[in-house]
Structure 1
Amino acid sequence: MLDIRFVRENADAVKAAMINRNAEVDVDALLALDSRRRAIVAEAEVLKAERNKISKSIGLMIKEGKDPESIKAEVREMGDKISAFDEDLRKIDAQLREGLLYIPNMPSATTPVGKDENDNPVIRFWGEKKTFDFEPAMHWDLGASLKLFDLERGAKIAGSGFPLFTGRGAKLERGLIQFMLDLHTEENGYTEIAPPFMCNDVAMTGTGQLPKFAEDMYAVPLDGLYPIPTAEVPVTNMYGNEILDQELPICLTAYTPCFRREAGSAGKDTRGLLRVHQFDKVEMVKFTTPETSAEEHEKLTLDAEKVLQKLGLHYRVIELCTGDLGFSAAKCYDIELWAPAQDKWLEVSSCSNFHDYQARRANIRYRNEDKKTTFVHTINGSGVALPRLVIAIMENNQNADGSIDLPEALWPYMGGLQKLA
């Protein structure tokens, strides 16, 4: 969430940023509300000072034997006006907060300006595209023939977009999760967290899912809870309304299932595991100082890349331009795996630096070197999401006979199994 003072003092910059983001935000309406609030505060303060002054005279009048009733009536009238001002302020404060919650983050000064995903620059590639001397099969055909998943029965249970993994497919999911958690905790220096898979509306608001993206989430209305769309939500909100007393950065990783309705994406990429409503993911979250957040963001991105490097998968890193930037992010790198059978790139990780945007919403602070309390910077990224990782492993490592060679890094996690056949 942006600070209203920042918006007030940098109105032109905020308006320009919203244009670059393709965000429809009425900054002037928000500033008018802020101006009205400040005017009411000023009027109320003058009235309170006057009431205090008059109230003191009541005692003197009583001592002098004068009737203070007229003065008391005036004080009561002032009190009624002050109460009305306070009620107006409560309403305006609620409107201001609501308005600020819908304003996306300011892009970083280093985020490239662009209209949409076509303007996202490619930062780097790793590995080479796989070539085949046969026509590579789609992952959904491979998965069906090898009995790795049963999408029809998954749909029978919960509807389309809820995959059912079976046998060695289920073991591959579990092995990948364990592999990534071990990598992040044993080599990359993260502490593992096992968070709740449900969050309340306060937590969802803290990381930016609510109120803007309510339609993209599942909900349990009677309990006021939401199945989480990402481990980012519970892990970041662990420290909501706290002043951190730990040395920064704090680096955390967690496995969770993720649940997303993605109402705005209906009908897109419905085959196989490309776009699902439930999927497994290992997440990385960092709490940093403003001075180190850019460096820690780069490190986190490299940590996500290491997963793919150890699995020997060809990928590229792109930087999101202002027009394609996520709502809460100030800067973001997407990591995309190559899927040869589909002849396209698949996003498996978004590594974002939110600056203090989430920390303001969730009220997460720390004491800086001057012992002053200030907001932390938050960073997170998938390390990585499984469905498309599984797709890439299947399509890149397939053989002409329909079998799939497993990356060597996974052999210990698959009980020594080296091939799916």
Structure 2
Amino acid sequence: MLCPTRTPRSFLRFASTAAKNSSTLLRAQLDLNAIVVQSDAYKESINRRQLPRSLIADVDFIVENRPVQSQTYTKINALKRERTELAEKIQKKDPNLDNVKLRLSEIKSEIKPLEKYVKDLQEEIYSRAEALPNLIDSTAPESATEEELVQYINTSAQEADNFVGSDSSKDHKTIGEQFGLFDFTIASRISGPSWYYLLGDGALLEQALVQYALSKARQHGYKMVIPPSIVKSEIIQACGFKPNDQNNEKQIYQIENEPRSLTGTAEIPLGALHSSTIFPSSTKFPIKYSGVSRSYRAEAGASGKDTKGLYRVHEFTKVELFHFTNLEKAADELEGIKRLQLEIIEDLGIKARLLNMPTSDLGSPAMKKYDIEAWMPGRGSWGELTSCSNCGDYQSRRLGIRFNGKDDKVSHLATLNGTCMAVPRVIVALIEQNYDRENDIIRIPKVLVPYMDGKDSITKTE
């Protein structure tokens, strides 16, 4: 039932700029009809991700109100046609001129509230649709909470079973401080908890990992990019990153009194590199970028977890992989990113495991995600080193990234992202797995030696 006389209270609560263009981005180019047709699949995605039930209500609202929106436009168009016909009658000196003018006045009073109603309704539909997560790939695990083990890397299932309960008397923080690789005490005084100084061979190790990762990426056809690490907040939103996580803990550093934020990953500016772009039909996909940048995470050490050492910090260097490709190629591209990540971890000699991640671990844009976790004796558990995700057209619809396909039909691209090198966590794994207690040295993987001034080990400095 149409209620065009006033704006519903809920409109005020959900008002946003999702349905509007800005100087940076076009409005989110959402497929509202797909949400209506695939409403059950969207509800399943929400449930399997263990997201708030209010999102189910958003799907229902869209399904119920898309026809209302269409009916209202039909009503408005009918009134406008009637208005045109009456205007012609006035020009022709219709004998019932007074009645014609009266009806014109009535039409004006009828159209104005209808136009306001349908405009508000459209904005709420867009706001609710923009908040929905992506659909889930059919090859993601059935369980919402249990990951699927794909394979072990540089170790066996039998050896991995023996990791738990192994000697964890020396973690990377203890070892690294003894070797003069980093200083947390001074950094805490200067910057606060979860910041750090890398010193000497610790700083050299970071640069070695970055240069090695970029070299591997170039070998696999990636174009290097050094992106900005501050972007407009609407870009972060369009990429699917929210200011707060599901536990309402702050994730993103927003710049006070400015519509800009620090990026938590180069994925964001890399995704925006082709925002508001239509690629010509001659474009060869995939387009692959490797971006190195500093990354900033406000939630580091949240809830008292992993507050010790380098595992969870506020600022770090990261090499990111990003793909633009056709939707039909996206699943294969994800496997390609995964293979490169496996190659890097294998070459570094890190004992790790590859996981197909459960649906509750997927961010809103991701349809499927692989993680590689290394065994970290100091934590007494596995710790994430890399992840890679297929985001389908979730980000491209919000960033306005399209291409001319068959018969010059404009379609949205798929975007994919993956970690090439998250430096601090790889340092954690390398130190804890490669510390030679007997000789009191930290062994350097062979692939890093050329980037470490020829050193095959790190020794204590006087």
Aligned equivalents of 1:311 and 1:382: distance in 2? 15
Instruction: Select 2:232's aligned residue among 192, 197, 200.
Output: 200
User: Who is 1:95 aligned against?
Assistant: 124
User: Who is 2:15 aligned against?
Assistant: none
Give 1:211 deviation, angstroms: 6.3
Relative to structure 1, is the Cα distance of residues 407 and 52 closer, same or farther in structure 2, using a 3 angstrom cutoff?
same
Q: Structure 1 stretch 124-133 or stretch 358-367: which is displaced more?
A: 124-133
Relative to structure 1, is the Cα distance of residues 341 and 79 closer, same or farther in structure 2, using a 3 angstrom cutoff?
same
Pairing 1:362–2:399 present: yes
Pairing 1:347–2:381 present: no
Residue type at the aligned position of 2:222: Y
Instruction: Select 2:223's aligned residue among 173, 176, 191.
Output: 191
Pairing 1:169–2:202 present: yes
User: Who is 1:121 aligned against?
Assistant: 148
Instruction: Select 1:154's aligned residue among 187, 192, 208.
Output: 187
CA contact (8 A) 1:58 1:71 kept: yes
Unmatched runs of 5 consecutive residues or more in structure 2: 1-27
Residue type at the aligned position of 1:194: I
Aligned equivalents of 2:99 and 2:239: distance in 1? 54
Instruction: Select 1:57's aligned residue among 76, 84, 89.
Output: 89
Give 1:14 deviation, angstroms: 1.9
Give 1:136 deviation, angstroms: 5.8
Give 1:134 deviation, angstroms: 7.7
User: Who is 2:41 aligned against?
Assistant: 13
Aligned equivalents of 1:165 and 1:263: distance in 2? 18
> Which whole-Å deviations, capped at 9, do the CAs of 1:41-92 have from their partners, x for residues lacking one?
222122122212222222111xx6x684653453244234323222222222
Relative to structure 1, is the Cα distance of residues 3 and 391 closer, same or farther in structure 2, using a 3 angstrom cutoff?
same
CA contact (8 A) 2:355 2:371 kept: yes
Q: Structure 1 stretch 370-379 or stretch 342-351: which is displaced more?
A: 342-351
Relative to structure 1, is the Cα distance of residues 270 and 74 closer, same or farther in structure 2, using a 3 angstrom cutoff?
same
Aligned equivalents of 1:393 and 1:107: distance in 2? 34
Trace 1:147-296 onto structure 2 (pairs within 5 A). 147-185=180-218, 187-210=219-242, 213=245, 215-245=250-280, 246-262=283-299, 265-296=302-333
Give 1:167 deviation, angstroms: 1.7
> Which whole-Å deviations, capped at 9, do the CAs of 1:7-32 have from their partners, x for residues lacking one?
11122222222222212212213333
Trace 1:379-418 onto structure 2 (pairs within 5 A). 379-400=416-437, 401-418=439-456
Matched length: 415
Give the TM-score normalised by the residue count of structure 1. 0.92
For the residue of structure 1 that corresponds to 2:421, the secondary structure is: strand
> Which whole-Å deviations, capped at 9, do the CAs of 1:196-239 have from their partners, x for residues lacking one?
11111221122101466593110113221100011000000111
Give 1:115 deviation, angstroms: 2.5
Relative to structure 1, is the Cα distance of residues 76 and 212 closer, same or farther in structure 2, using a 3 angstrom cutoff?
farther
For the residue of structure 1 that corresponds to 2:140, the secondary structure is: coil
Pairing 1:42–2:74 present: yes
Give 1:135 deviation, angstroms: 6.4
Give 1:392 deviation, angstroms: 0.6
Relative to structure 1, is the Cα distance of residues 39 and 165 closer, same or farther in structure 2, using a 3 angstrom cutoff?
same
Relative to structure 1, is the Cα distance of residues 323 and 141 closer, same or farther in structure 2, using a 3 angstrom cutoff?
same
User: Who is 2:6 aligned against?
Assistant: none
Instruction: Select 2:103's aligned residue among 63, 68, 74.
Output: 74
Q: Structure 1 stretch 127-136 or stretch 102-111: which is displaced more?
A: 127-136
> Which whole-Å deviations, capped at 9, do the CAs of 1:84-120 have from their partners, x for residues lacking one?
222222222221222122211110122122121xx11
Coordinate RMSD, CA, aligned: 2.3
User: Who is 1:3 aligned against?
Assistant: 31
Give 1:195 deviation, angstroms: 0.8
User: Who is 1:140 aligned against?
Assistant: 173
Q: Structure 1 stretch 73-82 or stretch 252-261: which is displaced more?
A: 73-82
For the residue of structure 1 that corresponds to 2:264, the secondary structure is: coil
CA contact (8 A) 1:230 1:259 kept: yes
Residue type at the aligned position of 1:348: L
Pairing 1:333–2:365 present: no
Aligned equivalents of 1:355 and 1:28: distance in 2? 23
CA contact (8 A) 1:334 1:349 kept: yes
Residue type at the aligned position of 1:293: A
Relative to structure 1, is the Cα distance of residues 146 and 34 closer, same or farther in structure 2, using a 3 angstrom cutoff?
same
Q: Structure 1 stretch 214-223 or stretch 291-300: which is displaced more?
A: 214-223
Residue type at the aligned position of 1:261: A
Unmatched runs of 5 consecutive residues or more in structure 1: none
Aligned equivalents of 1:135 and 1:102: distance in 2? 43
For the residue of structure 1 that corresponds to 2:407, the secondary structure is: coil
CA contact (8 A) 2:330 2:390 kept: yes
Relative to structure 1, is the Cα distance of residues 158 and 135 closer, same or farther in structure 2, using a 3 angstrom cutoff?
closer
CA contact (8 A) 1:142 1:402 kept: no
Give the TM-score normalised by the residue count of structure 2. 0.84
For the residue of structure 2 that corresponds to 1:221, the secondary structure is: coil
Aligned equivalents of 1:394 and 1:306: distance in 2? 20
For the residue of structure 1 that corresponds to 2:406, the secondary structure is: coil
Q: Structure 1 stretch 365-374 or stretch 259-268: which is displaced more?
A: 259-268
Aligned equivalents of 2:32 and 2:47: distance in 1? 18
